[in-house]
Amino acid sequence: MSFQSLTPFPGPQGAPQVAFHRNELSVILSLYGRMVAAGEWRDYGISCLRDMAVFSVFRRTAETPLYRIEKHPKLRLRQGEYAVIGPEGQVLKRGSDLRVVLRVLERKLIRAVK
């Protein structure tokens, strides 16, 4: 009996997942830190799925996400791979440059500080 017959999960090993790179996370966490300091956000979650990566922001831990920052690499050449999704599921901003896309949330930070 070989060890291959004892493999608990046969099939494709290590199915590719989409994830945020270190530079992308740095930009996102910088905004997150400022929003936490302003008292607007309190928690976050990161999901790495097969076709997209999602950074979800919560006002309270037990709620639905306040905003979702999504990365869709397959849309890179069409609409842009980054999107900010609002609480009702509406697309607030979409584009190829993460910093430009996140400006829609920075405007909310300016309003919160005032």
60 or 45, higher pLDDT: 45
Whole domain around residue 77: which residue ranges? 17-113
Give residue-wise pLDDT tens across range 48-57: 888 889 999 9
Q: In which residue are the tokens 């910093």 written?
A: 99
Instruction: Supply 17's token pair.
Output: 């997942």
Residue 10 to residues 3, 5, 17, 51, 75, Cα–Cα distance (Å): 12, 9, 18, 22, 31
Tell whether 62 is covered by a domain.
Answer: yes
Query: Does the residue 5 lie in any domain?
Result: no
Is-contact 95 87, C-beta < 8 A? no
From 7-11, 65-69, 102-106, the region with the lowest mean pLDDT:
7-11
57, β-bridge pairs: 44, 67
| Length of the chain (residues) | 114
Total domains present in the chain? 1
Whether residue 11 is contained in a domain is answered as no
The vertex-59 CA angle with 112 and 105, nearest 5°, equals 45
Whether 1 maps to a domain, the answer reads no
Query: Has residue 99 been placed in a domain?
Result: yes
- Asked whether residue 97 is domain-assigned, the answer is yes
Residue 68 included in any domain: yes
- Whether residue 21 lies inside any domain: the answer is yes
pLDDT at 11 over 60: no
